[in-house]
């Protein structure tokens, strides 16, 4: 479109907005509002309604000056900031609401027109008059948007003259005493507010013309806020004038009182007709542009995106507006529709305000030229939905249900475009602030939050390892699974995008996936354990399969030394391919005097296990080997107290071993042969004894089911498991594996 055919602030934004604001409510219902609410009540209603209008106008103006604004008005603003699902759902709702509002304006026109000329006052008569008016206005819009906008100047002039005529009119209806507040028997304030609120919804008419403006970044803020400001001044001035010049009883009962008191009644009639017709014309001009913009973005059928002529006039979209508006006119009784349409407008306003609030709070790239305080958007959001709830809770839920349905439909449709999505910025900001908060606090060992680095390659039992890693990390724990790709040359590392793994299983389990090329598996694990993570959420646990056949591996020994030195919690799973996890019914925790830290970690793991759906009916046992012939009841009582503190429901079994002095692993074989999952602590041992430890552990695994070996880091508390009163020498004696 050439620059000369586009419109400036006054013609493109201010005029269509102010004509819709100074509409049928001002002429035919403002007196009724004052009569029922009193002067102070009416002013309060006007101010509350304008709080929503002003905050929304400020918010949309700020968002509009941040980035290039195209055709589509509010839809364009929302879709480019909050993404297509939000923008599209609100855009569709606003489009339908705009189309039906045309019917409301034209039925209002028909009532006044037919009454003035003495024509029929039945619903069918209103349908005929409304349809004729709709055809004429649609034809005007089809002929030329420019002509339609120029016609609005004459309507604006008629409204201005009619307001002057009202202020210069007679005061023969003046009251003896001005009613400041609602009198007994008056309509409730909620109903009065609901009737008045459509008066302030007109400012979006100018925003809808965004694609036809020379400079939308300048025109939208100036034109929108000017229209809202002028409307506020006019409404308050008229309210004060009418309260002091017209009796409250007359205001409540006579909807045409302004005509009767005006200096020249015909100009008031012209103002009413001009206001209703201009409001309808604003919808006819703005509504199709919303649908056209959505169709260009593939939100709605592309046939409605096609335009005609040099200015790409949205002819197809205009015809659909005509059909919807005519359907509203043919219905005739639009009270229920009007209620829901008002809710759609309020929903749109609420989302516009929250868009600005989220953009200014979360998006570092949000740099509008028109700057306002962030809290203004939040105030507008809260006020919009608060008013919706107060006016009509059912209609509010109906509007939210429709908008929510549209949102999820567009989410599934997965419409994409090159635009900012504020939700990503919101999550990034939340995560950033959360990480700073976490990083500023010392880690409490009593509240273990697992952050697991899992190493699981492709194997027949990988699913079980992934499943258990998520189980032992709990509902809020983080698991990152690393797939190591062996490439001995490893000349070029993988691109960052290629390192991210997303598959169905990982998504279902809520596990992050990564794949990295390494020239050596063990140095790869060491490097990841040393470098992976960032402030606030550093990994604290390494989990992998049990390394059978590596008892003499020097590389494995070095890796183990590094992991112990880094002070990770270590979890090694020996998965029994035959029994798997059985029926998920039994878990054994094996304790001994030297397992003081491992014991607390096992209890934490037990808490997470029983919270998992598959393990929620499991029976957990703590088995303690009593090597010092201490009274069983004393040990049981003390362990019960330790277990009670961690809120784990378990059974305790004490095994006396003072006389027989059996090897610890032999006792495990006897007691846990049929257990679904056995947890055993890894004792402190010198690295040169690793081969011996692995061989003995391998033998144990051959005789019991799936087993998880646990090595707790130093941040876990030391549970006092030494129940004997023996000498220090006896306490430090070596316990056989």
500, 625: one domain: yes
More confident residue, 212 or 488: 488
Q: Are residues 401 and 468 in the same domain?
A: no
Residue 416 scores a pLDDT above 50: yes
Average pLDDT over residues 393-402: 77
Final residue before a domain boundary, out of 374, 404, 422: 422
Q: How far apart are CA 556 and CA 552, in angstroms?
A: 8
pLDDT digits (tens, 9 = 90+) for 491-520: 677 777 777 788 888 888 888 888 888 888
Judge whether 550 and 690 are in contact, CB under 8 Å. no
Is the same domain home to 574 and 703? Answer: yes
Report the percent of the chain where pLDDT is more than 90: 11
**pLDDT confidence of residue 289:** 82
Q: Please compute the mean of the pLDDT values over residues 186-190 and round it to a whole number.
A: 81
Q: Considering the domain boundaries, does residue 20 fall inside one? A: yes
Mean pLDDT computed over 174-201: 81
> What percent of the chain is predicted at pLDDT more than 70?
84
Region 601-622: mean pLDDT is 87
Query: What does the pLDDT average to over 419-434?
Result: 63
Contact indicator for 588, 669 with CB cutoff of 8 Å = no
> First vs last Cα of the chain: how many Å apart?
85
Q: What is the pLDDT of residue 534?
A: 67
For residues 10 and 127, membership in a common domain is answered with yes
Contact 133, 280 (CB under 8 A): yes
Q: Looking at the 3D structure of the chain, how many domains does it have?
A: 2
**406 and 503 share one domain:** no
Q: Domain range for residue 518?
A: 451-731
- Residue 434, domain member (yes or no): no
pLDDT of residue 427: 66
Specify the pLDDT at position 71: 64
Is residue 415's pLDDT more than 80? no
DSSP 221-278: HHHHHHHHHHHHHHHHHHHHHHHHHS-HHHHHH-TTHHHHHSSSHHHHHHHHHHHHHH
Q: Quick one: pLDDT at residue 730?
A: 41
What pLDDT was estimated at residue 340?
63
| 363 or 463, which is more confident | 463
pLDDT at 733 over 50: no
**CATH number, residue 387:** 1.20.1740.10
- For 273-338, the DSSP string reads HHHHHHHHHHHHHHHHHHHHHHHHTTSS-GGGG--BTTTTB-HHHHHHHHHHHHHHHHH---HHHH
- Please, are residues 480 and 450 in contact by the beta-carbon 8 Å criterion? no
pLDDT number for residue 131? 92
d(CA 202, CA 219): 16
Model pLDDT, residue 337: 55
3-state secondary structure of 116: helix
414 and 456 part of one domain: no
In a domain, 215, yes or no: yes
Task: Give domain status of residue 56, yes or no.
Answer: yes
- Prediction pTM value: 0.65
Residue 231 confidence (pLDDT):
93
Of 359 and 584, more confident: 584
Residue 440 lies in a domain: no
Do 268 and 176 belong to one domain?
yes
Cβ neighbours for 553, distance < 8 A, ≥ 6 positions apart: 522, 547
Please choose, from the candidates 516, 520, 525, the residue with its C-alpha nearest in 3D space to the C-alpha of residue 559: 525
Domain's final residue, options 372, 404, 422? 422
DSSP letters for 428-459: HHHHHHHHHHHHTSPPPTTS---EEEEE--S-
Q: What is the pLDDT of residues 66-97, one digit of tens each?
A: 766 666 677 877 777 667 887 888 788 778 87
Q: 445 lies in a domain?
A: no
Distances (CA, A) of 69 to 74, 79, 84, 215, 225: 10, 11, 15, 9, 17
Claim to verify: residue 184 and residue 227 sit in the same structural domain: yes
For the ranges 34-43, 368-377, 396-405, 722-731, the lowest mean pLDDT is seen at: 722-731
Residue 729 is predicted with a pLDDT of 43
- Weakest-pLDDT range from 52-56, 504-508, 572-576: 504-508
- Per-residue pLDDT reduced to its tens digit, 150-163: 677 888 888 899 99
Q: How confident is the model at residue 111 (pLDDT cuts 50, 70, 90)?
A: confident
Report which listed range, 396-405, 470-479, 642-651, 727-736, is most confident. 470-479
Please say if the pLDDT value at position 2 is more than 50: no
- Residue 405 binned pLDDT confidence (cut-offs 50, 70, 90): confident
Which of 373, 404, 422 terminates a domain? The answer is 422
Mean pLDDT score, 597-615: 86
Q: What is the mean pLDDT of residues 356-360?
A: 82
Distance CA 678, CA 440 (A): 37
The per-residue pLDDT of the chain, averaged, comes to 80
Both 412 and 458 in one domain: the answer is no
At 24-38, the pLDDT tens digits run 788 878 888 999 889
The answer to the question of residue 578 being in a domain is yes
Residue 44's pLDDT is: 93
Six token digits for residue 305: 């995106």
Residue 734 exposure: Cα atoms within 13 Å on the Cβ side: 3
Q: Does residue 441 fall inside a structural domain?
A: no
Residue 418 has a pLDDT of 47
The rounded distance, in Å, linking the Cα atoms of 211 and 305 is: 13
Looking at the structure, tell me whether residues 578 and 660 fall in a common domain. Answer: yes
Asked if pLDDT for residue 109 goes beyond 80, the answer is yes
**pLDDT given for residue 593 in this prediction:** 74
Do residue 413 and residue 462 come from a single domain?
Answer: no
Average pLDDT in the 222-242 region?
A: 93
Same domain for 475 and 393: no
Residue 731 has pLDDT above 50, yes or no: no
Show the tokens assigned to 79.
């879709």
Q: What is the pLDDT of residue 663?
A: 87
Q: Would you say 241 and 139 are in contact if contact means Cβ atoms under 8 Å apart?
A: no
pLDDT at 146: 64
């Amino acid at each position: 479109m050439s620059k000369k055919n586009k419109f400036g602030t006054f013609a493109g934004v201010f005029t269509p907005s102010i004509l819709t604001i100074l509409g049928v409510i001002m002429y035919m219902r403002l007196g009724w509002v004052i009569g029922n609410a009193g002067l102070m009540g009416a002013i309060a209603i006007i101010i509350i309604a304008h709080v929503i209008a002003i905050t929304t106008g400020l918010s949309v103006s700020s968002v509009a000056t941040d980035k290039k604004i195209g055709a589509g008005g509010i839809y364009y603003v929302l879709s480019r900031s909050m993404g297509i699902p939000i923008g599209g759902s609100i855009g569709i709702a606003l489009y339908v609401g705009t189309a039906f509002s045309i019917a409301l304006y034209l039925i209002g026109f028909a009532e006044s027109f037919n009454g003035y000329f003495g024509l029929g006052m039945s619903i069918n008569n209103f349908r005929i008059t409304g349809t004729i008016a709709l055809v004429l206005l649609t034809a005007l819009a089809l002929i030329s948007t420019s002509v339609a906008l120029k016609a609005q100047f004459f309507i604006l002039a008629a409204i201005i003259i009619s307001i002057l005529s009202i202020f210069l009119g007679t005061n023969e209806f003046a009251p003896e005493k001005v009613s400041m507040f609602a009198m007994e028997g008056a309509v409730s304030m909620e109903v009065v507010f609901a009737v008045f609120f459509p008066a302030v919804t007109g400012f979006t008419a100018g925003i809808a013309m965004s694609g036809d403006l020379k400079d939308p970044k300048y025109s939208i803020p100036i034109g929108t806020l000017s229209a809202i400001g002028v409307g506020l001044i006019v409404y308050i001035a008229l309210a004060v004038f009418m309260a002091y010049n017209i009796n409250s009883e007359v205001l409540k009962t006579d909807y045409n009182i302004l005509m009767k008191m005006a200096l020249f009644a015909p100009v008031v009639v012209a103002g009413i007709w001009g206001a209703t017709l201009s409001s309808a014309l604003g919808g006819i001009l703005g509504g199709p542009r919303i649908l056209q913009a959505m169709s260009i973005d593939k939100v709605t059928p592309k046939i409605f995106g096609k335009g005609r002529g040099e200015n790409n006039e949205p002819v197809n979209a205009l015809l659909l507006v005509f059909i919807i508006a005519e359907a509203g006119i043919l219905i005739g009784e639009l009270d229920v529709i009007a209620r829901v349409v008002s809710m759609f407008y309020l929903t749109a306003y609420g989302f516009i305000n929250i868009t600005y609030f989220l953009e200014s709070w979360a998006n570092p790239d949000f740099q509008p030229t028109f700057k306002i305080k962030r809290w203004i958007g939040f105030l507008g959001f809260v006020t919009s939905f608060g008013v919706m709830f107060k006016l009509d809770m059912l209609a509010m839920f109906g509007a939210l249900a429709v908008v929510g349905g549209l949102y999820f439909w567009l989410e599934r449709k997965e419409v994409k475009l090159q635009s900012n999505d504020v939700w990503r910025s919101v999550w990034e900001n939340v995560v950033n602030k959360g990480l700073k908060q976490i990083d500023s606090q010392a880690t409490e060992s009593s509240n273990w939050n697992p952050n697991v680095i899992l190493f699981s390659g492709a194997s027949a039992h990988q699913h079980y390892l992934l499943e258990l890693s998520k189980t032992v990390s709990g509902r809020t724990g983080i698991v990152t699974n690393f797939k190591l790709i062996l490439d001995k040359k490893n000349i070029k590392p993988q691109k960052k995008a290629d390192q991210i793994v997303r598959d169905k299983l990982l998504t279902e389990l809520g596990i992050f996936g990564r794949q990295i090329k390494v020239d050596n598996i063990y140095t790869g694990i060491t490097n990841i354990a040393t470098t992976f993570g960032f402030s606030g959420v550093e990994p604290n646990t390494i989990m992998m399969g049990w390394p059978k056949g590596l008892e003499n591996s020097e590389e494995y020994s070095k890796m183990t030394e590094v992991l112990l030195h880094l002070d990770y919690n270590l979890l090694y799973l020996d998965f029994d391919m035959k029994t798997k996890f059985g029926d998920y019914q039994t878990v054994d925790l094996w304790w001994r005097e030297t397992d003081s830290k491992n014991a607390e970690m096992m209890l934490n793991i037990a808490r997470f296990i029983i919270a998992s759906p598959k393990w929620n009916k499991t029976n957990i046992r703590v088995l303690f080997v009593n090597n010092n012939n201490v009274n069983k009841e004393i040990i049981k009582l003390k362990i019960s107290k330790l277990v009670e503190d961690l809120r784990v429901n378990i059974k305790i079994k004490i095994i006396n071993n003072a006389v027989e002095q059996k090897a610890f692993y032999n006792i495990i074989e006897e007691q846990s042969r049929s257990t679904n999952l056995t947890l055993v602590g890894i004792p402190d041992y010198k690295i040169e004894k690793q081969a011996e430890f692995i061989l003995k552990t391998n033998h144990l695994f051959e005789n019991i089911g799936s087993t998880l070996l646990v090595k707790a880091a130093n941040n876990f508390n030391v549970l006092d498991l030494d129940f004997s009163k023996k000498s220090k020498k006896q306490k430090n004696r070596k316990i056989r594996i």
